[in-house]
Structure 1
Amino acid sequence: MTVNFPSHLKDKIFEIRYSHDDSVSKILSYFPFSESEKQEIISVLNISIFDGFNSIFTDTVSDEEWGKTKDQIKKKFQDELFDIDNS
């Protein structure tokens, strides 16, 4: 099952993990989602309860900060992952 999140949410998601029955089991974001974003995701998933939210970083950032720094953050994170793979 592929979930089509709105672009403003998809942009903040690093990874989506699925369970054996193809339902979404975990959503890993760069930074924690706000409560309204979580509710929007739950609505898109069309389920009443979902607690599989995790984030790479614990800091919270505003949409404005995210918009200004997301490309740098994503590139830095990807570069660091590749460095780990090459060690």
Structure 2
Amino acid sequence: MSQDDLFDFPCDFPVKVMGARRDDFAQTVVDIVLRHAPDFAAETVEMRASGSGNYLSVTCTVRAVSRAQLDALYRELSGHPAVKVVL
């Protein structure tokens, strides 16, 4: 069984990104997502601040077409200095 067999592509796939709460954090995440999923609708972004207000989670549900696409998206998000966690 290959890793692509775990998903039935294309599929809607939520990506949750957490980082320090800054004015440009959500836009930074959306910009990265759009590079990997150009059809992503930015108006569908869901955001939630942490209880203390120091962190922000941004959830983007992308239409994933392949495992390679998701891997590349996760790599770029994880490598960004503003990002703490990608789920």
**Which of the two has greater helix per residue?**
1
Tell me whether the two structures share a fold, i.e. TM-score over 0.5: no
- Normalised by the length of structure 1, the TM-score is 0.39
Greater relative CO, 1 or 2 (CA 8 Å, sep 6+): 2
- Normalised by the length of structure 2, the TM-score is 0.39
**Which of the two has greater strand per residue?**
2
Bigger CA radius of gyration: 1
